[in-house]
Structure formats: structure tokens, C-alpha cells
């Protein structure tokens, strides 16, 4: 645990990446697996994760991200795109996956299925979209922790035009919308922010013991 805390102290929101350094395939697969194993409400994972390396697309995304250089200089751009609408089909496919993986009868999951359909699916469209977007942040947290553990740099980013991202990546027609993004790779020696002391609330100011 001490090593884990040490790694969290090591990481920071990288502002300048070394564009000559790329994450190797095996390490990238480990990061993807950490995201895949993320918790989510009901376990439904109402989102897709785009791993973007294409230079031309990243140039377009940079323009839609206030021209932040992380978009083009990082090894990869990770886009979490949440469902704009969760449907009965999504829930049914989830139940089928549970049935197959756990080798249990699909009919035995009817109560669980009905619970999801009777709660989340009944939310107004706007609230359902907010609920789905919240799940992506759990995946983002896992990505940041995994990268820190592997001494890979990352920068979580909300500074982008979601509508432009949706258009560039063709997300709208897929029933998706860009929720949050992260750039991953290796810090540049010229990134002065890596030398800044980490600033967080004190335990006394953060935690309330009841």
C-alpha cells in the first residue's frame, strides 16, 4: 500500500508530453484491462472507450480542445463516451453476458433485470445521460491509478468541446457522447509542472468522521 500511495504522489496532470515516447502495446493493454475491470452502477458499464492514435484525427481533436498540446503530443488520447440513452436491449445483453460468464440460467436473472429496467430506464432522458456520464469517471479513476502504478503519465481533461468531439468521432449516430478524456504517455523534461509540490486538502479539512 505504501508503494501505491508513493505512486499517487508521483503522478500529476501532465501538461507537456514527450511526443517521441510511445506506450508499448503490452502496457497499453494493461491500462485497457484496468479500465475494463472498473466498477459501475449495476455493473452495466454504459459507455465505450476510444483509444485514439491517428494523427489527423488528433489534430482535429486538438482544435476542439482549446489547442491543448497534450492531445497531439501524448502517446494516446483516451475518450470515454457515455450512452445517451440506455435501452432494454442494453440490459438484456448485459443479462445474457452474466448468464454466459457465470453459467447460470438466464431466467434466474429476471428479478435483477426488472430492477434495472424499473429504475435506471425510467429516469428522464437528461437524468439518464447524467447517470451514464458519471460511470465514466470511475473508469477514468482506474486509468489514472493504473498509469501511476506503471509510471506512465496521464492528464484527465474536461477542457474540450463535446459536440465537436461527437462530430469528429461520429459518436452521435452511435448513441454516444464524449464525457471525459485523458491523454497518456510520458512527461517531457520541459514540463515545469512536474516539479510542483502536490497540493491537496489536509485530512482534517477533507474528512468528516461521524
Q: List the pLDDT tens digit at each of the 210 positions of the chain.
A: 999 999 999 999 999 999 999 998 899 999 999 999 999 999 999 999 999 999 999 999 999 999 999 999 999 999 999 999 999 999 999 999 999 999 999 999 999 999 999 999 999 999 999 999 999 999 999 999 999 999 999 999 999 999 999 999 999 999 999 999 999 999 999 999 999 999 999 999 999 999
Query: Considering only CA atoms, which of 149, 147, 142, 4 is closest in space to residue 74?
Result: 147
- Cell 431466467 locates to 107
> Residue-wise over 179-200: b if at least 16 C-beta within 10 A, else e?
bbbbbbbbbbeeeeebeeeeee
Query: Considering only CA atoms, which of 177, 174, 180, 169 is closest in space to residue 136?
Result: 180
| This model's pTM is above 0.85 | yes
H helix count then E strand count, the chain: 9, 4
Query: Considering only CA atoms, which of 186, 182, 155 is closest in space to residue 24?
Result: 186
pLDDT at res. 25: 86
CA atoms within 13 A on the CB side of 157: 27
Query: Considering only CA atoms, which of 210, 206, 202, 188 is closest in space to residue 12?
Result: 188
CA pseudo-torsion sign 125, 126, 131, 137: positive
Domains of the chain (ranges, CATH numbers): 2-191 (3.40.109.10)
Amino acid at each position: 500500500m505504501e508503494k501505491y500511495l508513493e505512486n499517487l504522489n508521483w503522478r500529476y496532470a501532465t501538461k507537456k508530453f514527450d511526443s517521441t515516447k510511445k506506450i508499448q502495446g503490452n502496457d497499453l493493454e494493461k491500462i485497457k484491462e484496468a479500465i475494463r475491470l472498473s466498477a459501475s452502477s449495476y455493473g452495466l458499464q454504459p459507455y465505450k472507450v476510444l483509444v485514439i492514435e491517428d494523427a489527423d484525427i488528433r489534430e482535429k481533436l486538438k482544435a476542439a480542445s482549446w489547442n491543448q498540446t497534450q492531445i497531439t503530443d501524448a502517446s494516446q488520447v483516451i475518450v470515454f463516451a457515455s450512452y445517451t440513452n440506455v435501452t432494454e436491449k442494453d440490459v438484456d445483453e448485459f443479462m445474457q453476458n452474466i448468464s454466459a460468464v457465470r453459467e447460470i440460467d438466464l431466467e434466474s436473472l429476471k428479478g435483477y433485470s426488472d430492477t434495472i429496467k424499473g429504475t435506471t430506464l425510467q429516469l428522464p432522458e437528461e437524468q439518464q445521460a447524467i447517470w451514464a456520464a458519471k460511470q465514466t469517471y470511475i473508469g477514468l479513476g482506474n486509468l489514472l491509478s493504473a498509469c501511476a502504478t506503471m509510471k506512465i503519465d496521464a492528464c484527465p481533461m474536461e477542457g474540450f468541446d463535446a459536440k465537436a468531439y461527437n462530430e469528429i468521432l461520429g459518436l452521435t449516430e452511435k448513441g454516444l457522447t464524449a464525457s471525459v478524456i485523458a491523454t497518456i504517455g510520458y512527461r517531457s523534461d520541459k514540463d515545469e509542472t512536474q516539479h510542483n509540490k502536490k497540493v491537496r486538502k489536509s485530512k482534517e479539512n477533507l474528512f468528516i468522521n461521524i
